[in-house]
Structure 1
Amino acid sequence: MQTTLMIYDGTAPADSDVPRTGGVPLAPAGFAWPMCGSCCGGPLQFFAHLPVEGGVLSVFVCQNDPGACEFWDAPSGANRVYLFPREELRPVAVPETGVTLLPTTSAIRHHVVTLDPEGDDGLTPDAYDVARSGWKSEPGERFGKQREVLRSIGGSPSYLEKDRVPICPSCTGPMEFAAHLEEGITRQTAMNLGGQLGYVFLCRACREGAFLTD
């Protein structure tokens, strides 16, 4: 059993078409910056650019008044996930007001961790939890190394109850899990997730996405 972690890999150009947190979103022509539909009505903050099979996931979360708008709830309107085609993406104009960008653009590299299919008690372990611990214990251990894990791609959602899996608003089917999100390695690079783990889901057929935290 393998899990693909995404590891902090220094800084990246703000408009690069690589896996990253922060920077500016890349989108097709005509895309309008998303606004919070929960309570504040302000522009959402751009969190992550995640190339996946079939396109690019672009994740936005409201940070104008943290705790006021329910950014942790998928249907709240305080977050947005888009699945864009990879072709003809261009930097999006950033609104002049509101909390829109992270302070730093962080590059991400993929790191595959191979797991034992069963734990010592014979039960199937949580793949993401075990993979993060595996990364920490690999050669080169250093203080704070586990915080270098910014997310994982694919697999299954860690400890998320089945009744919280989002339903696609277009086809009403359950969405596919796409990625975990961690807050970040430092205060300067962090995404504010309220100290929780973030989950990104998508419906490939309808090109819809969803975000929530635990």
Structure 2
Amino acid sequence: MQFLAQIIVDRLERPIGQVDPHGTHVMAIFMCQNDPGMCDEWSPTAGGNRALLFPADTLQAMPAPEADSDEGVLRLGAVNAVSLVSLPSADYFGAREEWGIRSGNSLRDVLGQLGGRPDWLQDDETPSCPDCTRPMNLVAQFEEGPDHATAMNFGGCGTAFAFACGLCTRAAFLWQC
């Protein structure tokens, strides 16, 4: 499984009156890259992808890997960092276009949204929690990215969706193209 993203989830949506004892969580998202397109990684339940939730207070930072002994340089490969821009648009694709017009940047530079409602490319595929069977809440929606070296593979110009159940602290990940 290839690591795709890590998201800090400040508060999982829970039923009114219930408090999450752990507070902040970290969602880690992975997708099969063994034979891209052949692992059913678009499905939230087929096993070709995985989203996991961890209570943030139980995690520890890992030490940096050893530097290359020949050159003494630590190489991380291609990585991306993002900045958060908030727009008042009612839907994700509308906000994405508004950002492109305002900033003068390519829409491919938008990497997604945090929370809100999913803007599906096909039919609504909101997963149900495997424990309580309630529909899960959107944590993030992802675009593939602007650079081939760092792009995630969601079937070529696809969009991915990460969900969580705050009641059961379960997560799911899927994509559409």
Q: TM-score range by the shorter chain?
A: 0.7 to 0.9
Deviation string 1:17-59 (CA, Å, 9 cap, x unpaired) is xxxxxxxxxxxxxxxxxxxxxxxxxxx1100011112311110
SS in 1 for 2:119: coil
Structure 2: where are the runs of 5+ without partners? 11-23, 64-75
Counterpart residue number, 2:83: 109
Superposed counterparts of 1:63-212, under 5 Å: 63-90=33-60, 103-115=77-89, 127-139=91-103, 141-142=104-105, 145-159=106-120, 161-162=123-124, 164-195=125-156, 196-212=158-174
> In 2 relative to 1, CA 91–45 (structure 1 residues): closer, same or farther, beyond 3 Å?
farther
**TM-score normalised to the size of structure 1?**
0.65
Give the deviation of 1:75 after TM superposition: 0.6
Deviation string 1:156-208 (CA, Å, 9 cap, x unpaired) is 0103534x211111112111111101111201111111121101111112111
Identical pairs, percent:
38
Superposed counterparts of 1:14-53, under 5 Å: 44-53=1-10
Distance 1:150 1:86 in 2: 24
SS in 2 for 1:83: strand
Structure 1: where are the runs of 5+ without partners? 1-43, 94-101, 118-126
SS in 1 for 2:93: helix
More contact order relative to length (CA 8 Å, sep ≥ 6): 1
Check conservation: 1:103, 1:189, Cα contact below 8 A.
no
SS in 2 for 1:106: coil
Deviation string 1:53-76 (CA, Å, 9 cap, x unpaired) is 231111001011011110001110
> In 2 relative to 1, CA 153–51 (structure 1 residues): closer, same or farther, beyond 3 Å?
same
**TM-score normalised to the size of structure 2?**
0.77
Matched, 1:57 2:27: yes
Give the deviation of 1:92 after TM superposition: 6.6
SS in 1 for 2:167: coil
Distance 2:77 2:41 in 1: 19
SS in 1 for 2:33: coil
Q: Which has the higher strand share?
A: 1
Distance 1:92 1:62 in 2: 23
How large is the RMSD of aligned CA atoms in angstroms? 1.9
